[in-house]
A and B are shown apart, each in its own frame.
Chain A
Amino acid sequence: MTASADDRALVAAYLADRDEASFRDLVRRHAPALWPLVLRLVGGDEETARDAMQETWIRAARGLAAFRWESRLRTWLTGIALHCAREAARRERRAGDLAADPRVAIESAPAGRGAALPGASIDLARAVDALPEGYRRVLLLHDVEGYTHEEVGALLGIDSGTSKSQLHHARRRLRAILTGAPAGGTAAGGEGGER
């Protein structure tokens, strides 16, 4: 049975009577992939990430009956998680601060679990957390999660060309943060995102 078929069977079992076991199976299949994304999207704060995950699954549970399987379930869940993480981060008044001044994030963000790259002054997770929000979202989806630019564009409501441009700037900014070098350019491009 394919992964998609497994998802369909679990969703059908869950929707039949809101069965707890089926829901747990869905969580076990998809939460391990959603969690690291959400954690980085909210800047590394675990409690904020928990709130975002909770809201993600609440919305997913409410929307599953209307899900038409025109995309993978994982992609659909990721789209919800992107929205919920953004809202949770904003509630915590973190996203704007991090985007405005990466140095603040570097000093205040909880320790991440990223690798300490050769020549880097901070670990990778904290450096990603310090990226402006728009840059961070594109970089996480493309370079960490492995989505194509077309998929990133669909998830964020931008075209694939914008995704490529954002990714280029995100990588430059990330390298600058990692090495402590001036970033060059402006953070304005990272403030975009969903239309």
Chain B
Amino acid sequence: MIDEMRDWSPEEAAALRALATVPPPADLEDRLVDALAARGLVRRRRPWLAWGLPAAAIALFVAGWAVGSRGPGGPLVPAGAPAPGTRYALLFYEGPAFDTLPSPEASGTLAAEYSEWARRARARGITVKGEELEPRGRSLGAESEAGGAFATREGDEVLGGFMIVEAASLEAAVELARTHPHVRHGGRIVVRPVVDH
């Protein structure tokens, strides 16, 4: 690379090379994404976060993905208290409807609805634990390029998060999932029993 630096002392040469280590501003990446998204050059995968929700709204949304308590049954819970230890995974898939949202207000509304669902579930005694997934990663395995970029899309969908809930039966878990606003907003939820070893 550098073929000669003989006009400089070692200290001077090192000081010059150190100029290449000034870190970019912390907000530069988001600014670039915003600029490209505004021009249709980037498709957002997390519209309710990427629109720049107030911190409180984000906190509410996060709470919606990670809550856990127990209480009396109610409208969110089908007849019959969930049997302790009967767990189901709710896999949240996001279709094209999640690529864009019309406004920050709409994003805030969505976050509030998710949080309200979680709050009601908690109030009804349903144990809910979950995590939101970032739309990036690495894919391994026979049909993947080793360490290659993760294919975030599965057809038209992206797995956006998951929850583990307790319910009395698969049908009860499905009924619970059916009430989640994710479905109403065009998303899909897959309900899978968790194997208890």
Give Cα A19–Cα B152 distance, bound, in whole angstroms. 9
Q: A115 near B: Cβ within 8 Å?
A: yes
Q: B20 near A: Cβ within 8 Å?
A: yes
- In the complex, the chain B residue whose C-beta lies closest to that of A36 is B22
Q: In whole Å, how far is B20's beta carbon from the nearest beta carbon of chain A?
A: 5
Q: A3 near B: Cβ within 8 Å?
A: no
Q: By DSSP majority rule, is chain A's interface helix, strand, loop, or mixed?
A: helix
Q: B102 near A: Cβ within 8 Å?
A: no
- Partner of B29 from the list A22, A28, A114, A146 (CB cut-off 8 Å) is A28
Q: A39 near B: Cβ within 8 Å?
A: yes
- Partner of A58 from the list B41, B134, B153 (CB cut-off 8 Å) is B41
**Residues 51-90 of A at the B interface (beta carbon under 8 Å):** 53-54, 57-58, 61-62
Q: B12 near A: Cβ within 8 Å?
A: yes
Q: Determine the chain A residues whose CB is within 8 A of the CB of B36 once the complex forms.
A: 23, 57-58, 61
Q: Determine the chain A residues whose CB is within 8 A of the CB of B33 once the complex forms.
A: 20, 23-24, 27
Q: Are A21 and B135 within 8 A (Cβ)?
A: yes
Q: In whole Å, how far is B23's beta carbon from the nearest beta carbon of chain A?
A: 6
Give Cα A171–Cα B6 distance, bound, in whole angstroms. 11
Instruction: Report how many residues on chain B are interfacial, defined by Cβ distance under 8 Å.
Output: 49
Q: A100 near B: Cβ within 8 Å?
A: no
Q: Mark A113-138, 1 if CB is under 8 A from B, else 0.
A: 11101100000110010000000000
Give Cα A129–Cα B111 distance, bound, in whole angstroms. 47
- Partner of A117 from the list B12, B25, B135 (CB cut-off 8 Å) is B12
Q: B5 near A: Cβ within 8 Å?
A: yes
Q: Determine the chain A residues whose CB is within 8 A of the CB of B145 once the complex forms.
A: 9
Q: Are B147 and A148 within 8 A (Cβ)?
A: no
Q: Are B16 and A19 within 8 A (Cβ)?
A: no
Q: A124-B15, A143-B13, A143-B16 are in contact. Are A17 and B32 (CB under 8 A)?
A: no
Q: Are A147 and B1 within 8 A (Cβ)?
A: yes
Q: B154 near A: Cβ within 8 Å?
A: no
Q: Mark B172-194, 1 if CB is under 8 A from A, else 0.
A: 00000000000000000000000
Could you jot down 19 A-B contacts, CB within 8 Å? A1-B147, A9-B145, A19-B42, A19-B43, A22-B149, A24-B29, A25-B149, A32-B24, A46-B25, A50-B31, A54-B31, A115-B15, A124-B16, A140-B19, A143-B5, A143-B13, A144-B19, A146-B20, A171-B8
Known: A1-B148, A13-B149, A32-B24. 5 other contacts (CB 8 A): A9-B148, A35-B24, A50-B28, A125-B22, A171-B7
Using a CB–CB distance below 8 Å, which chain A residues touch chain B? 1, 9-10, 12-13, 16-25, 27-28, 31-33, 35-37, 39-40, 46, 50, 53-54, 57-58, 61-62, 113-115, 117-118, 124-125, 128, 140, 142-149, 168, 171
